[in-house]
Amino acid sequence: MQKQEFTITVYTENHIGLLNRIAVIFSRRKINIESLNTSPSEVEGIHRFTIVIDELEEVVRKLVRQIEKQVEVLKAYYNTNDEIVWQELALYKVSTDEIAEKVKVERLLREYGARAVVIRKDYTIFETSGHREETNRLIRVLEPYGLIEFVRSARVAIIKASSGFHEKIKEFEATDPSDDLIENEYLGKQQEIFSM
């Protein structure tokens, strides 16, 4: 088995400190996070973390189980790139004089699916979205024309086979609560200690 790129999607309540606790899970296992994005989800009050790592599937499976043990985590999934639709946003700042003189801007924008978002005398900022390879190609094209700065967002991804997390929540809410009493092991041990 060899490492491959996985996208982990985590649905959580929005609580202070949760990002830090999730990051600690990765750092304890010495797993580097390639990309991290957090945003509100389609369900009010629930946030979505999108985390990209290169790792073995067995390690990712264990990692997702560990993440799900966090109290505020509702559900975590992991997927390969074939199982998701994903994009990254990129911004490029270039010298306006250089780009206007040496490049046919309209052709460049069409060819790379980019658009100008800011045009000033001293610089122009282009925006495009796509996979990392696509945004990297435009870096190479713009470098000879005075690329001043480049920034890329974290990945945003949607799972192809998912019907949406709000459907899972509806299913959960529709199930009848169990009559079975489940004792919390931790509290049971504490009661034993106090009764001694």
**Domain CATH number, residue 104:** 3.30.70.1150
Number of domains making up the chain: 2
pLDDT given at position 101 = 73
pLDDT given at position 174 = 62
If asked whether residues 26 and 79 sit together in one domain, one would say: yes
Give the tokens for residue 160: 């192809």
Which residue numbers in the chain have pLDDT < 70?
A: 166, 168-196
pLDDT given at position 193 = 47
If asked whether residues 104 and 145 sit together in one domain, one would say: yes
Please name the amino acid found at residue 184: N
If asked whether residues 68 and 25 sit together in one domain, one would say: yes
pLDDT given at position 170 = 66
pLDDT given at position 68 = 93
Query: In terms of Cα–Cα distance, which of 156, 179, 133 is closest to 36?
Result: 156
Q: Are 138 and 92 within 8 A, CB to CB? A: yes
pLDDT given at position 139 = 92
Domain that holds residue 22: 4-84+157-171
pLDDT given at position 190 = 47
In a domain, 78, yes or no: yes
Give the tokens for residue 24: 């600690």
If asked whether residues 126 and 106 sit together in one domain, one would say: yes
* Contact residues for 113 (Cβ-Cβ < 8 A; gap 6+): 128, 129, 130, 134
If asked whether residues 79 and 90 sit together in one domain, one would say: no
Please name the amino acid found at residue 117: V
If asked whether residues 52 and 95 sit together in one domain, one would say: no
Q: Residue 41 sits in a domain of what CATH number?
A: 3.30.70.260
Give the H/E segment covering residue 137.
helix 132-142
pLDDT given at position 14 = 87
In a domain, 178, yes or no: no
In a domain, 37, yes or no: yes
Give the tokens for residue 93: 């700042």
